[in-house]
Amino acid sequence: MSVEFVPATHVRAVTKRIEEARQRALDRIGPAPSQPPTAVYWEPLFEANAAEVLAVLPSVQLAAGYVVRYRFYEQRNRDLLVRPFIARPGTDVDTVRQLLDWHAPPDSVASARASAPTQDVDLLYRHFFFPDTAVGVFEYWLAMQELWASARWAHSHLIASADELSQITAADSWEVIHPVEAYEPAVVRGGHGARLAVLVECPIGRCEITLQQIQIHPDHSLQYAEPVIVAQGPKGYVL
């Protein structure tokens, strides 16, 4: 099995489309109200965001006759706890929402808990299809990151070139911990799903650039390995 790379130009183009999709969803629903967060506002916003994002990721197809729905639980610190699931457009999902317990998004689950059972395959992953190509795997991962919508992901930035990495780490207080030789997202495809490696800058807690390694299983579920710290910077946002 060989390693395939997603070109940096494609990474930049697709992430720009996602940023624009996020803004369209916000423009449609309107700004958040000043009172404490409630499901009345946040569930429609996350659902609008999911629809807008999937519309700009043509490689990722949701099964015909279905839409992405959400349950909003609460705001914890500055993170909004939500859970995506798939339903028919006309289905009354209020009962379904009440039956869904919250659990952390895949990118927030420690490897020791990654095997804990969930209903995510049946409720989410199995409804999506994507081509067995490097771009297909990468865009499917992007779609799932957007659907889970963790605060960490919302503030993250993908790095796909040596120039991008150098510009960030040249600033004061940055230190390169683990140099890398490849910068573009790397994909290995095989009979047991696919593996993706991608450089992610996140300013939560302490600014860090990590090499995220994700296994996408044949059932389309995601499992994260422990990230490799590539570089560390100054103090970041506190959630």
Cα–Cα distance measured from residue 63 to residue 65, given in angstroms and rounded to the nearest whole number: 6
CB-CB contact of 187 with 8 (8 Å): no
Q: Structural domain boundaries of the chain?
A: 3-106+114-235
Specify the DSSP class assigned to residue 237: B
Kindly give the confidence (pLDDT) of every residue in the chain, 239 residues in length, as a single tens digit, with 9 standing for 90 and above: 789 999 999 999 999 999 999 999 999 999 888 877 799 999 999 999 999 999 999 999 999 999 999 999 998 887 889 999 999 998 999 999 999 999 999 988 654 455 567 899 999 999 999 999 999 999 999 999 999 998 889 899 999 999 999 999 999 899 999 999 999 999 999 878 999 999 999 998 889 999 999 999 999 999 999 999 999 999 877 65
Amino acid residing at 210: T
Cα–Cα distance measured from residue 197 to residue 185, given in angstroms and rounded to the nearest whole number: 6
Residues 6+ apart with CB under 8 A from 20: 56
Q: Residue 70 is inside which H or E element, if any?
A: strand 67-76
Cα–Cα distance measured from residue 239 to residue 229, given in angstroms and rounded to the nearest whole number: 20
